[in-house]
Amino acid sequence: MKIATWNVNSLKVRLPHVLDWLSLHQPDALCLQELKLEDKNFPLAEIEAAGYHAAFSGQKTYNGVAILSKQPLQDVSAGIPGYEDDQKRVLSATLNGVRLVCVYIPNGQSVDSGKYQYKLGWLEALAVWLKSEVARYPKLALLGDYNVAPEDRDVHDPKAWEGQVLCSEPEREAFRVLQKIGLQDCFRLFPQAEGAFTWWDYRMNAFRRKLGLRIDHILLSDALASDCVSCVVDMEPRKLERPSDHAPVIAEISHAGETH
DNA sequence: ATGGCTTCATAGTGAAGA
């Protein structure tokens, strides 16, 4: 089973890239973030024409998440139960016995911002909820844009980013809390190339200069992590004309989610 | 250099992203 995540920064603008990418990589599931469109404008016909089902939770201008899948999704659910939030940032669904949770974790803007406080509260609510979800679904994958670079090696210039939003200690601690409830960062289960980041600023030629951060992740419960055979960042779409500022992350899990 | 670039909503510029 091949599962992936990609912050597309406007599904309307990036639809051609997404369709090309699906055709090339044929993932069993692709989680998308920052759709930036209302559900009534979701390009369902184009996605279905590409051979994929879709569940989505969108809103005007900001946020918005979707899960695309080759096989139909079951038990689709939006948001974190019991956590009031107008921002569409979470979508869950089951695919052949694997619980997929697609997240667009708040950016936080800066550590002295009210949005940063919202981010930390949001992460706490996510961890509380996921603890029970992992118990309920032993095979659970948490995929998305976390807006957290977990360690210094996930940052091109750790000194410059020290204490800044995306890299601050409270955010990194929140990431470790997710790991403590049994979710493993499968990217780190394998040797990785230098400069394998997932986001590069649009400005200052950041991509060409390799000035990136790894903030998009796939975390797997123990039952999935033990069967994970690869996890890579695909930087190719970042080289295209009018790219998303994020690159997709792909994990492959042997045996999981196969129909028999 | 609180800039740089891209998107959306809007019809000038401003908010937000990370």
| A96 HSE (CA, 13 A, CB side) | 16
**pTM greater than 0.85:** yes
Strand B and chain A: which residues 201-240 have CB closer than 7 Å? 201-204, 213, 215
Backbone φ/ψ region at A70: left (φ over 0), alpha (ψ -120 to 50), beta: alpha
- Whether A65 and A57 have beta carbons less than 8 Å apart is answered as yes
pLDDT of residue A257: 65
Tokens (6 digits) for A241: 């004309």
Tokens (6 digits) for A40: 């009534």
Nearest nucleotide, CA A115 to C1'? B16
Q: Which amino acid is at A89?
A: R
CA of A202 to C1' of B5 (A): 5
Q: Which of A52, A104, A116, A137 is catalytic?
A: A104
Residue A260 pLDDT exceeds 60:
no
CA distances (Å), A167 to each of A105, A107, A111, A163, A217, in order? 14, 11, 10, 6, 14
A85 is annotated as an active-site residue: no
Query: What secondary structure, in 3-state letters, does A144-202 show?
Result: EECCCCCCHHHECCHHHHCCCCCCCHHHHHHHHHHHHCCEEEHHHHCCCCCCCCCEECC
Over residues A56-89, the pLDDT tens digits come to: 999 999 999 999 999 999 999 999 999 999 999 9
